[in-house]
Amino acid sequence: MSNYFRTGVLVAGLTGLFVGIGFLIGGAQGMVIAFLIAAGMNLFAYWNSDKVVLSMYGATEVDRSSAPGLYGIVEQLADRAEIPMPRVYIIENDQPNAFATGRNPQNAAVAATTGLLDRLSHEEVAGVMAHELAHIRNRDTLTMTLTATIAGAIGMLANMAFFMGGSSSNGENRGGGLGMIGGILLMVLAPIAAMLVQMAISRTREYEADRIGAEIAGQPMWLASALERIHQAADQIPNEPAEQNPATAHMFIYNPLHGRGADSLFSTHPAVENRIARLQELAERLGVGMPGRRRRPWG
């Protein structure tokens, strides 16, 4: 099963879960109302998700004069990836990490933390940026934004189920009203189900972005080395904005939240060991190894 097909199935499952919960709460009428609310949320997310997330992390846009090293490498990689040049941002945060956002390749942005630029070599940063550009080329940024929005809407509907008891406004039990116990179960289980689907989508896309990013950079071991160094440092350095906004954790190249697990149902990212192993296999197939590490000022 291809990653694209698997992602489509997971998104369809999440949407079906949302629609089903709306029906259980208020029958057909409740389902339509909830769907319209979620549609409005998705529309807002489609047009404004990049601005919201970048503002959330206090990202500063840079250009060729303010950050020539980072800007230059993104420009070169974007040309290799055959996508428009994205906007480039730097986040003042000591945890080494990065993410991409935007509704399409024509309206995209990449952001790197100061921790990433301070700790990684030129080649390793290139590997990370190539991974993020792969997300943009694959339009993963839109997929992840929409799934996060739907997952949030499911949580909202589950809370409504608890307070409404699954009954309609006139007290009739349309759509098989859930009652208080059913409402409590739905409030607990529905967000968990949504979270599982959202995380499965994220892990699926990370593997694909690793592969395509390695192809864009032309050297899989740049990203493999970067992931190892990020893993060693990020687990020791908290990312407070991410802790306050955990719904955005799946956007980063490495899970910024502490208390993460391995490659399990409850992990937003694949285990680093698994990602590195796949990149090593790709490097062997391409017949390339890891060149010496160079450092350059990032400006």
C-alpha distances in Å from residue 32, one per residue of 12, 36, 175: 17, 6, 13
- Render 170-182 in DSSP notation, one character per residue: TS--TT---HHHH
Burial degree of 292 (CB within 10 A; 0-12, 13-18, 19+): exposed
Element (H, E) at 62: strand 60-62
Structure tokens at 113: 């933390």
**Are the C-beta atoms of residues 113 and 191 closer than 8 Å to each other?**
no
Burial degree of 148 (CB within 10 A; 0-12, 13-18, 19+): buried
Please identify every residue annotated as catalytic: 132
CA atoms 158, 160, 162, 167: torsion sign: negative
Structure tokens at 205: 């896309």
For residue 175, count other CB atoms closer than 10 A to its CB. 20
Burial degree of 169 (CB within 10 A; 0-12, 13-18, 19+): exposed
C-alpha distances in Å from residue 168, one per residue of 59, 142, 184: 45, 34, 17
Going by the DSSP 8-state scheme, the letter that residue 265 receives in this structure is T
* Dihedral of the alpha carbons of 199, 201, 203, 209, in degrees to the nearest 10: -140
